[in-house]
Amino acid sequence: MIERTSAKFLSDPAVPNRLPIHFYISHWLMGLIAIQVLKVARTESDNLIPLFFVMTIGVLISYLIQWRGVSTAQQTAFVGLDIAFGLIAMTSQPFLNARIGLATEPGFEVMISTSLTWYIVLRSCVMVSAGALLWQNVPTLALFGLISTYLMSAQLTTLFACFLGLLLYSLTLLNTLSHARGERTLLAKFNLHALRGSSLGLAAAGLFSLMIVPPLQTFVGYYVMQVALGINLNSPSSRNSSNSAYRDSTEVGVGPSSLSDRPILRVQMDPPVYLRERTFDTYTGTGWQTRSGFPQLLRMRYNRWVSLEEFLETPPLSAGSLVSQRITILNDWHGFVYTGANPIRLRLPAQRLMVDDFNDTLRYYQGLAAGMQYEAISNEVPASPALRNASNNFPNWALAYYTTLPQQRWERIRNTAYEIARSRSNQYDRVIALKQFVEKQCAYNLNAEAYPRDRDVVDYFLFESKEGYCDAFATSLAVMCRYVGIPARVATGFLPRFQDKETGDYILREADRHMWTEVYFPDYGWIAFDATEGARVIDNGLTENGEIAQGSAASKENMQKRLLLYGINLLLLTAVMYLFFSEILPRIRYWHVRRLPEGQIAWLYQRLAHTLAMAGVAAPAPAATPYEYWQTAQTQLGEQHSAIQNAAERFINLLVLTRYAPGAMTKENLQQLRDSLHQAQRAVAQEVPFWQRIRRGILQWRNLTR
C-alpha cells in the first residue's frame, strides 16, 4: 500500500486543477486597492467606479473559466491576450479614458500610473491559472513603486500595507495548497499544518506586512521603477534638480538651456501673477547665494486657513490688490511653497511650515507631492508710477544685506549705472531706466554660450556677450540697482504663460521656470521687475503661443528613451520572473517536503520531469510509474538525444533502487541521484536549442505554480 501511494506521489502528487474561490477574492481585493491607489495619484476627483465594475466582471470570468478547466493550448492563447491587453493599456489610454469619462492627465507619472491600472483591470479576465494570478501583482507593485517616488501619504502607506498583507496571504495559501496536494499521500501530519496555515495566514501576513512596509515601500519607490522599469525619477535628495529648490546657490550663464514642456503646476488665479519659489540675496560675481535666516516653525491646522502677516513683512492692503491662487502639483516634489508676492493667507494640507522672514520663503520639508492642492492669497503691488511716491528712508537691514557687492568692482557696470540713474529724481524712475537699458542692450537667447568663470557675469553679459536668458537679465538689473544704492535681489519661480482654454487654469511647465528682479520700496515692500519683457528674442524655437519647440522636441526624445528603457527592462523583469517561478518558488514551496528522504526523491523526480519537458517530453501521466514514464520519454526523445537518454535512464534506475530497495535510501544514493539529474540537465542544455528551452519552459509555468 505504501509503495503504491509513494509511486502515485512521485508521478503526480494528486494535484486538483481548480483553484479555490478565496484565492480569486484576495486578488480581486488587490485589484481594488490598485484602483484606489490611482485615485490617490490623480490630481482630479475622478469617478473610478467603472473600473471597479470591469475588474469585478473580469475576475468572475477568470474564475468561471478556470473552474471549467483550461488546456495548455488555451493557456497559451490567454497569455497572448494578456500581452495584447498590456499593449492596449500602454498605447490607447486616451481612448480607454474617454470610454468611462476619465480625463487624460498630462503628467508623465500620472499617465504611466493610469496605464498600469488599465492593464491590471483589463487582464483580470485572463487570470485562469495560479501563475496568471501571481503575475497580477507585478504591475501592482510597479504602480506602488511609481507613485511612491513622488507621493508619500498615510493613505498610500495604508493601501500598501493592505496589498502586502493580501499578497503574503495569497502566497501562504498557494504554499498550503501545494502541501495539501501531496500530504494526503505522503504524511498525514501536514494536514494540520495546512489547516493552520489557511486559517492564520491572513493574520500572520498582516502582522508581517506592518513590520516591513516602511523599508519595502522605500525599496519599491526608489529601485523598482528605476531598475525594473527604467524610469529614472529623481531621488528625494535631488528632486527638482533643474532648479534651485534644494540648493542655497545658483550659477548664472552656464550655457544653453534645455527646457521641456512637462507640466509642473496647475494654477487657478485671476489675474496671472509671478509665482515665487525662493529668493537669493548675495551676489558672488558668477551667481547667487542665499543667507540662512532664522526660520520660524509655524504650527497650523491641517488644510485650514492660516494668517502669515505676523511672520512676513507685507505692504498695507491699500497699496495693492488681493489675488487668490489655487495650486495643484502635477509632477515632482517641491520643498518650497509657491505663492504670489507678499502672501498673507495660506491653506495647506500640512500641520507644520517653516517661515523664513529674511528671505520671504515658505519651506515645507516633507515636500509637496504630485496630487496635492493648496490655496494662497497674496497682496500684489504692481510696478506702477504710484511707486514714485515711495520714501527713500530705507531700513538698515535693506541697505546692509541687499546693496552689497563683491570686493572686485567693475568700473564699466558702476559708471553705466550711475550715468543712467543720476538724472532721475526718484527710485522708481531709476529702476525703470536701468531695466530699459538692459532690455535694449542685450538679447534673449536660450542657446547662449556659457560665460567664462573667471569673469563677472554681469560685465560679460552687458558689454561682450550681450546674449543670455532670464538669469542673466535678472542678475544684471539687480546688480546695477545695487551699484546706485537701491536694495535689490533676484527671485525664482514660475512665469504663467499657457492657459487652458477649457478650464481657464494656467498650466505651468518646466519651460515656464523663471528668474526676475525684486526691488525694495519702503512702505510697499519687494516689487517685481522683469528685464526680459522688452528684450529682443533670438529665434530659439519659441512658438506663437509661447511654448518652446526645443523643449517639446527634448520632451519627445526623453519620452522615447523612457519607453525604450521600459521595454528593455520589462524583458529583463520577465526573465527574472521566469527564473523565480521555475527555480526559486518551487524550492520554497516544497521546502517542508524536501526535509524528508521521500520528499527529496519526489522533488528530484519532478525536476527530472521538468528537465525532460525542455526536450519536448510530455509530463508524467497521473497514474504512471517511473518506468512507464521513462518508456514514454524514450519514444518522444528519439535517437538524436542519446546523451539525454543515457543520463535520464541512469536517473530512473537509481530512483527506483533508492526508493524501493530495502535500506537503499542513504545519503550516498541520494547524492548519486542528484548527480544523475545534473548530468541530464547538462545534456539537455547541450542538445536542445536555447529558444526551444525558453518556449517550453514558459508552457511549464502553469504546472510549476500549481
Q: Prior bond to 271 cis, omega within 30?
A: yes
Residue 225 has pLDDT above 70, yes or no: no
Give backbone dihedrals phi and psi of 245, rounded to 5 degrees, phi first.
-60, -35
Q: What pLDDT score was predicted for residue 460? A: 93
Q: What pLDDT score was predicted for residue 543? A: 39
pLDDT level of residue 538 (50, 70, 90 thresholds) = confident
Q: What pLDDT score was predicted for residue 96? A: 87
Residue 23 has pLDDT above 70, yes or no: yes
What is the Cα–Cα distance from 686 to 677, expressed in whole angstroms?
14
Residue 428 has pLDDT above 70, yes or no: yes
**Percent over 90 (pLDDT), the chain:** 21
Residue 189 has pLDDT above 70, yes or no: no
Residue 282 has pLDDT above 50, yes or no: yes
Alpha-carbon torsion (93, 95, 96, 99), positive or negative:
positive
pLDDT (average), residues 193-206? 44
Give backbone dihedrals phi and psi of 171, rounded to 5 degrees, phi first.
-65, -40
pLDDT level of residue 64 (50, 70, 90 thresholds) = confident
Q: Which is more confident, 381 or 188?
A: 381
Is this structure's pTM higher than 0.85?
no
DSSP 8-class letter at 542: B
Q: Which residue has the cell 481657464?
A: 504
Least confident segment among 335-349, 457-471, 476-490, 617-631: 617-631
Q: What pLDDT score was predicted for residue 209? A: 47
Q: Which three cell numbers stand for residue 402?
A: 541687499
Give backbone dihedrals phi and psi of 399, rounded to 5 degrees, phi first.
-75, -30
Which residues lie across from 322 on neighbouring strands? 379
Residue 699 has pLDDT above 90, yes or no: no
Residue 640: exposure state from Cβ atoms within 10 A (0-12, 13-18, ≥19): exposed
As a whole number of Å, the CA-based R_g of the chain is 34
Residue 119 has pLDDT above 60, yes or no: yes
**Percent over 70 (pLDDT), the chain:** 73
Residue 274 has pLDDT above 60, yes or no: yes
Digit-coded pLDDT (tens) for 306-350: 888 877 877 777 778 899 999 999 887 788 899 998 899 999 988
Q: What pLDDT score was predicted for residue 108? A: 63
pLDDT (average), residues 241-267? 72
